[in-house]
Amino acid sequence: MSSAAPHLLKGKVALVTGSSRGMGRQNAIALAQHGASVVVNYVKGAAPAEEVVKEIESHGSKAIAIQADISKPEQVEKLFTEAVKHFGQLNIVMSNSGLEHFGAIDEVTPADFDRIFNVNTRGQFFVAQQAYKHLSNPGRLILISSISAQATGVHNHAVYSGSKAAVEAFARCFACDFGSKQITVNAIAPGGVKTDMYVEAARKYIPGGDTWTDDQLDKAVNAFSPLGRMGYPEDIAKVVVWLASDYAGWVNGQTIRISGGAAV
């Protein structure tokens, strides 16, 4: 990191949903490394979220952990109210929360469908609604999709892929809705990122992958990208920081695919 990096988001306050682990954790830390104060959101288990807070504070930024279940609109409202009450303002919202899902078409239940859409789609809508009410002018809203939303079809992945495709439509429409407030709205669509959920999820994308060793799995995922490697949370966080910064002030209504060229 350059010596100028901590000043990129200086004076800004960012809220990152689902930021106690995985990509959300790294997004929160990266925003803090570039000067933002951060609201770390978690659903359950305060300890990992508090560890993220300590990591952020070690970089000289301020942070607070707030519990809220994004699938419940009343808790989303409470999350934003507490965030603004604590920091006095809100400049950046990174809607990171999401659930993975695979299920055969003849086995998916209404409960399965609702569980995924309540977080991935409905949850992000109501996060955006609160962002509209609370973000300062100018502001940034970043939603999370997946390359699954537009990639070649994957067996048993319709519910998840559909839940993410809707988010890309949200980004386009919200860009119009938020424009008068000088708030940009964009989505990111990661692909092939090695997080704590990677091993289980990646195997399901590859026919027969459930019998592979970890090394075989890594080799296959690396081959998806023309660059010959999988992604890491840091790769995603760099784009999030850029979208949150003044450098991306003219980027609006877009979905940015962060996949190393996989599924091009």
* Per-residue confidence (pLDDT) for residue 263, from 0 to 100: 67
Helix-then-strand count for the chain, H and E: 9, 7
State the angle between helix axes of 73-87 and 122-134 in degrees (0 to 180), rounded to the nearest 10.
Answer: 30
- Catalytic residue from among 19, 37, 71, 145: 145
Q: Cβ(170)–Cβ(125) under 8 Å?
A: yes
- Catalytic residue from among 146, 161, 163, 259: 146
78 CB neighbour count, 10 Å cutoff:
15
Write out residues in the chain with pLDDT < 70, as ranges.
1-5, 263-264
Catalytic residue status for 72: no
* Per-residue confidence (pLDDT) for residue 249, from 0 to 100: 97
* Per-residue confidence (pLDDT) for residue 3, from 0 to 100: 44
In 107-213, which ranges are continuous DSSP H helix? 110-120, 122-134, 158-178, 198-205
* Per-residue confidence (pLDDT) for residue 178, from 0 to 100: 99
From the list 149, 29, 23, the residue with the least C-alpha distance to 97 is 23
Q: What are the structural domains, with CATH classification, of the chain?
A: 5-195+233-258 (3.40.50.720)
Q: Measure the CA–CA gap between 28 and 250, rounded to whole angstroms.
A: 23
Angle at 22 between CA 21 and CA 25, to 5 degrees: 60
Q: What's the predicted TM-score (pTM) here?
A: 0.94
pLDDT digits (tens, 9 = 90+) for 219-254: 988 998 999 999 999 999 999 999 999 999 999 999
Catalytic residue status for 232: no
- Catalytic residue from among 71, 164, 198, 205: 164
Q: Measure the CA–CA gap between 18 and 76, rounded to whole angstroms.
A: 12
Q: Measure the CA–CA gap between 197 and 195, rounded to whole angstroms.
A: 5
Q: What is the separation, in whole angstroms, between the first and last Cα of the chain?
A: 30
Q: Measure the CA–CA gap between 205 and 63, rounded to whole angstroms.
A: 36
- Catalytic residue from among 12, 37, 95, 160: 160
Catalytic residue status for 161: no
Catalytic residue status for 194: no
